[in-house]
Amino acid sequence: MSTHTKVLVTSAAGKTGLPVTLQLLEKGFAVRAFVRRQDHRAQQLKEAGAEIFVGDQYALTDMRAAMKGVQRAYQCAPTAPNGLHYNAVFTAAAFEARLEHVVTLGQWLSTADHPSLFTRETYLGDILIRMPGDMTVTSIIPGWFADNYLMVLDMAAHLGLFAMPLGAGDVPGNAPPSNEDIASVAVAALGAPEAHAGKTYRPTGPALLSPDQIAEAMGQVLGRRVKYRNISEKMMMKALRAMPPANFSQAAASQLALYTEEYRRGTFAISAPTDHVLRIGGRVPEPFVSIVKRRVAARPDLQRSFPRRLSAMAGFARMLLTPALVPKEIEAQRDYVRLAAPAFSQDDAEWGAAHRHLGLS
């Protein structure tokens, strides 16, 4: 199949941007991939047939240039501070370019008064993108990505431990979607705006899983017993501080603490799983164990050895000795807007009315 429609993919080297670009190219669309820099991911996209645009997504001048000659776009805000600024830049440029259709990656948690600044900015961005009346919009609102669990895959491989503050190990709390399955829903909406304009989709994995089942799947792939441990938020913040800054910023860490609270509240289990990956994306949703297999296959450093175990143990000891990040201090240092009476998603009546019907149809 071939088409003359050109699609702009923002954050094209990211978790969903990269598979969105590749899947669009497979379907014959012309794609302009907006990336921050030339690296191996940009090279992969170029070799697959994408037009590479290197620029700053927060700069209106660059976004205007990226949208020249484009009819549709995938709006994927970076998981970083100033998300609302990015959304405003994107919306202004899309309005000026008279785009016909946009698919935007939002959040399952999105509410007006959420404790997370990142989430409130997503909520406002969802309003902004709908303001240009001649442009149609499809919203993709995944919850907790499968990729989030894989942050601790090294510890699982070398120490047999899956440690996160997710609550009781036997409580099913999430149906984790793969990046590729999320992308398939976005690509379907980009390919047929007339069928998906105004719709909201929540891609999920095929089944609700408990933390114990997540650990079991990791162990099955790694060939060892992996045990889940429900750790404190403080311990998680110590671990995040011990990570290299390139892996996880302090700003993102402060928001993750709020998202794990939503996890323990059961918010990601509501209306999950959905049939949107199969019904809209046209593919059977990938089981979590299969996602882990692909990641492990790409990581030869996860193979067990005595030196790697020693290194992992040293890293764990270093984490224990690292002072914990304090989310409220991070928010104060960055002068985040903080509400007097924030409300988690399930405490928002508007959120409940809009989200409890999005399960299997």
Q: Both 150 and 84 in a single domain?
A: no
One pLDDT digit (tens) per residue for the chain, 361 residues: 345 799 999 999 999 999 999 999 999 999 999 999 999 999 999 999 999 999 999 999 999 999 999 999 999 988 777 889 999 999 999 999 999 999 999 999 999 999 999 999 999 999 999 998 899 999 999 999 999 999 999 999 999 999 999 999 999 999 999 999 999 999 999 999 999 999 999 999 999 999 999 999 999 999 999 999 999 999 998 888 887 765 667 888 889 999 999 999 999 999 999 999 999 999 999 999 999 999 999 999 999 998 989 988 988 888 888 888 888 888 888 888 889 999 999 999 999 998 877 765 4
Q: Does any domain span residue 346?
A: no
Please state at what angle helix 250-264 crosses helix 233-242, rounded to 10 degrees. 150
Q: Cα separation of 68 and 359, whole Å?
A: 38
Q: Both 166 and 118 in a single domain?
A: no
Q: Both 79 and 154 in a single domain?
A: no
Decide which of 84, 115, 141 is a domain's last residue: 141
Q: Both 154 and 100 in a single domain?
A: no
Taking CA atoms, 269 is separated from 123, 174, 259, in Å, by: 20, 5, 13
Q: Both 124 and 169 in a single domain?
A: no
Are 266 and 351 within 8 A, CB to CB? Answer: no
Q: Both 161 and 294 in a single domain?
A: yes
Q: Residue 138: CA atoms inside 13 Å, Cβ hemisphere, count?
A: 25
Tell me which residue has tokens 């409300």: 343
Q: Both 233 and 257 in a single domain?
A: yes
Q: What is the CATH number of the domain that holds 96?
A: 3.40.50.720
Domain containing 85 equals: 6-141
Tokens of 63: 């976004």
Are 27 and 1 within 8 A, CB to CB? Answer: yes
Please state at what angle helix 288-297 crosses helix 211-222, rounded to 10 degrees. 40
Number of domain units in the chain: 2
